[in-house]
Every structure is written in structure tokens, then in C-alpha cells.
Structure 1
Amino acid sequence: GATAFAEGGFQWKALRQPVGSHPEPKPFFQHTLALQPSDTFYLITDGFQDQFGGDKGKKFTAKRLRELLLESHSLSMAEQGSKLFQTFETWRGLQPQVDDVTILGFRV
């Protein structure tokens, strides 16, 4: 995962480590950000991007999800939620859901 800033074009690479028990745990890093009013953040599991669907039964992909979030970031949080839900359901179609799907969005 990564943090993308729609206005600034900055992408922040996330540490790929599961939360919980792991045979070789790595330390977590603390980051500090200067927040501005209307900054929007998303905490996302990989279920949305890993969902199979569309015309060819392919995965949605992280790139496509990032583009969807970037094009939707100026909408209200409620409108974003509706757009994400509708996009997911349309993409999934009749395919079974393959994983949990969680997107927590919040605006400063």
C-alpha cells in the first residue's frame, strides 16, 4: 500500500507487514504529517483491488483503485462511499466476493 496526495502527487510507500503474529517481525515506523483542512485519508484492505470481475474476470487492481480514489476525492465522503460501493458491485458482477473489503475514509 501507499499514501497518495492527489494535489501534490506524492506517494508514500507503506511497510508490508501483517498486524499480529509474524515469525520475523519488523519494527513499525512512525510518520508525522502536517494536516490541512479538507485533507482526506483512506485506510484500505486489499480486498477491493483483489476482487475479480469486469468483462474479462480480472482483478480490479491497486492502480485502478488509486485512480478511482483520486478522481473521487473532491466529492463528499457520502458520495465517495456510494461511488466506491457501486463501482465494486458493478465490477464484481456475479463473481463471488474473494476477500473482506474495507475502505475507511476520513476528512480533516
Structure 2
Amino acid sequence: MPIGVHIKQQPFNSQTVKINNGDSIYMFSDGYADQFGGPKGKKFKYKQLKELLLKINGLPMQEQKLILNNTILDWRGKNPQIDDIILSGIYFGKETLKIKNNKQ
């Protein structure tokens, strides 16, 4: 099914979020949280992903990438990857906000 399409086709409500210097936004598919692994062969789950993102927030993005990649590889172990895993993070630092403000 294409992105943005849902069987019920309910109206979309736009949301506005204020972004401050130092904020990060993460977007991801269900693949990371749904990956089986760990000592009991269970799913990683969204709660554990949220805790991990909160723990590594504030680290440089390149370091976060390494931690996220190593964490899911360690979790998965010898289990097959069952779905696509997409996770993207955007850091809004002073330079990012300056570029945005100059375009207004």
C-alpha cells in the first residue's frame, strides 16, 4: 500500500511543532521495533527503541548511527532480518536553524 493511503481514507490533520536549537527528530519504519532477537528471541519493541533514542540523544549524529546499527545487529544475532529497517534522525543545531531563518 502506498505511503499516505489508508483503507478508511480519513481526513488528514496538519500538526505544527516548534523546533528549538538542539532538538532532534527521528522518523522510522516498524522494522527496527519488530525485529526478533535478544536472549529470548522476542521483538525489540517501540518502548526499547524510545529508551535507546532518549539515551543517545545529544550525541553526535554519526555516533548515534553507529550505536543504533550495532544495537540492532547485536539484538538480531543470527535471526534473519524480517523487514526493512529505516531510521532517520535530523538534528536542529544553530547552523540548521540559521539556514531556515535566512530563507524566510
Fold agreement, TM-score > 0.5: yes
**Residue 104 in 1 paired to residue 88 in 2?**
yes
Q: Distance in 2 between matches of 1:22 and 1:34?
A: 28
Q: Return the structure number with greater helix share.
A: 2
Q: Calculate the aligned-residue CA RMSD, in Å.
A: 1.3
- Identity percentage of aligned residues: 44
Runs of 4+ off more than 6 Å: none
Structure 2 gap ranges (5+):
93-104
**Residue 28 in 1 paired to residue 12 in 2?**
yes
**Residue 91 in 1 paired to residue 75 in 2?**
yes
Bigger RCO of structures 1 and 2 (CA < 8 A, at least 6 apart) = 2
- 1:37/1:27 CA distance change after superposition, 3 Å: same
Q: Distance in 2 between matches of 1:26 and 1:19?
A: 14
Structure 1 gap ranges (5+):
1-17
Counterparts of residues 61-76 of structure 1 (less than 5 Å)? 61-76=45-60
1:80 alignment counterpart: 64
Could you state the TM-score of these two structures normalised by the residue count of structure 2? 0.82
Helix, strand or coil: the match of 2:78? Answer: coil
